Structure 1
């Protein structure tokens, strides 16, 4: 039953289970039972109380700095949720005068996708199972865009310079990186024996690549770059779907507004 509700976009499977236990779901006019099997032809009715509860769940956009982990604290590092305080709320939050921050907004709040401890940029934390499913569900097709500053892994030796007393000229990756390797970043690489989905990778400037991905494997961009001879110096996520990081300052957060959709 909960799987069918998730497929229809009514709720996440966890939410569906909660609603069924609360008596808020009927199947063909009869109260649903947890674990009940249903076919695609059944009529599912949801009590308005469930919709009201769902509407009260918040989604938060955070500009995560380096040094914070996305989820549970690990190796002595603080979780990103520790930054969600009234003092760190962005002064230009569009909901500033309409939605007051309360501790209840932190209950059940979970990251919808990860951002490595040494990466910065847009991190989404949500209480809404629909948002989580859209961003990290098995069928998610939402783009994530990153700006990645890189260097060539093998820098030229100073002894090879025309005058060994002078350091070599900087080697900008864009002008020294083979076109066939850039093509591999777009499509053709494997990680852990699995073919990566097609990406959009291009030069943003002489030492920075723009990655647009529709998947998010662990340390994917860093491992992709390593596979083609590039070292990642800095990585920043600047967009998820239709939501850009924009001018949100590092270490600050804002609410996702009702009119914004990923």
Structure 2
């Protein structure tokens, strides 16, 4: 069913559904985008898809034409992908303060969001729909070279909350380092360093292993963690964000994602 290869009697799927099931065009589109309509046994979620009169169009018995609830997706971003601020799908603008990746030309992390990369063990129980990957916004940027939790949302209330609260939400990162830490270096990481000419507030830093530090901090700035480590004789090999506020990355593998559950709060 493509625009270039369909019979001459083909019509838009939304028109066919509206006629066949005696409903409005708006309701027909809600059925289709909700994943309730199949054509020749295959679910089709595009109202503009063309169908011929000979093709079988079926509406699921439990179809519900209610307006779809906006979703929030939690991605485990691998290194090498860009996750910047603002509207990232169908974007016509960037959010105020948005910035590009330090690795120009890096692929967008949002491209990893699809049905195939959905965490199979996702406890949310939400039906994956094509519509869930449209009009997503990101207010939890992560450097291209870093990995870990990135949040994408369609929910305007969630977007507003993240935009307003991101400076006060504690973020937890695991940082792989190399080198010999200076005497008193751990204490300096917790309190006593400056970044961009300004003293840093007290933060929580502890050793997780011989080569890994755990940072828990608010209002993190691009380049802040590498600069802090360099100030105490360490070089950063990798950064992984494992928590934003009260929402953990948990067991989501790299390149996969899950839905934010209704009871979860940042």
Q: TM-score range by the shorter chain?
A: 0.5 to 0.7
Structure 1 residue 102 displacement after superposition: 2.5
Q: Which residue of 1 aligns with 2:233?
A: 229
Higher helix proportion: 1
User: 1:137 and 1:216, CA in 2 relative to 1: closer, same or farther beyond 3 A?
Assistant: farther
Q: Which residue of 1 aligns with 2:146?
A: 119
Calculate the aligned-residue CA RMSD, in Å. Answer: 2.2
SS at match of 2:239: strand
| Rounded Cα–Cα distance in structure 2 between residues aligned with 1:146 and 1:139 | 15
Structure 1 residue 147 displacement after superposition: 0.7
User: 1:215 and 2:215 equivalent?
Assistant: no
User: 1:70 and 2:86 equivalent?
Assistant: no
Unpaired stretches in structure 1, ≥5 consecutive residues: 1-51, 153-172
| Rounded Cα–Cα distance in structure 2 between residues aligned with 1:196 and 1:80 | 30
SS at match of 1:104: helix
| Rounded Cα–Cα distance in structure 2 between residues aligned with 1:115 and 1:133 | 19
Normalising by structure 2, report the TM-score. 0.64
Normalising by structure 1, report the TM-score. 0.64
Of 178, 182, 203, 2:183 maps to: 178
SS at match of 1:142: coil
Aligned counterparts, 1:64-143, within 5 A: 64-71=77-84, 75-96=104-125, 99-137=126-164, 140-143=167-170
| Rounded Cα–Cα distance in structure 2 between residues aligned with 1:216 and 1:133 | 19
Note if contact 1:62-1:122 (Cα within 8 Å) is conserved in structure 2: yes
Structure 1 residue 249 displacement after superposition: 0.8
| Rounded Cα–Cα distance in structure 2 between residues aligned with 1:206 and 1:135 | 34
Q: Which residue of 1 aligns with 2:263?
A: 259
SS at match of 2:159: helix
Cα offsets for 1:217-236 (capped at 9, x unmatched): 11221121122221001111
User: 1:94 and 1:237, CA in 2 relative to 1: closer, same or farther beyond 3 A?
Assistant: same
Q: Which residue of 2 aligns with 1:204?
A: 208
Q: Which residue of 1 aligns with 2:52?
A: none
Structure 1 residue 254 displacement after superposition: 0.5
SS at match of 2:122: coil
User: 1:107 and 1:197, CA in 2 relative to 1: closer, same or farther beyond 3 A?
Assistant: farther
Q: Which residue of 1 aligns with 2:93?
A: none
Note if contact 1:70-1:111 (Cα within 8 Å) is conserved in structure 2: yes
Higher relative contact order (CA 8 A, sep 6+): 1
Structure 1 residue 187 displacement after superposition: 1.7
SS at match of 2:208: strand
| Rounded Cα–Cα distance in structure 1 between residues aligned with 2:156 and 2:186 | 36
| Rounded Cα–Cα distance in structure 1 between residues aligned with 2:177 and 2:132 | 38
Cα offsets for 1:2-31 (capped at 9, x unmatched): xxxxxxxxxxxxxxxxxxxxxxxxxxxxxx
Structure 1 residue 141 displacement after superposition: 1.8
| Rounded Cα–Cα distance in structure 1 between residues aligned with 2:168 and 2:157 | 14
Q: Which residue of 1 aligns with 2:72?
A: 59
Q: How many residues align?
A: 185
SS at match of 1:124: strand
Cα offsets for 1:54-99 (capped at 9, x unmatched): x822111000001100036862211110000100000011123xx2
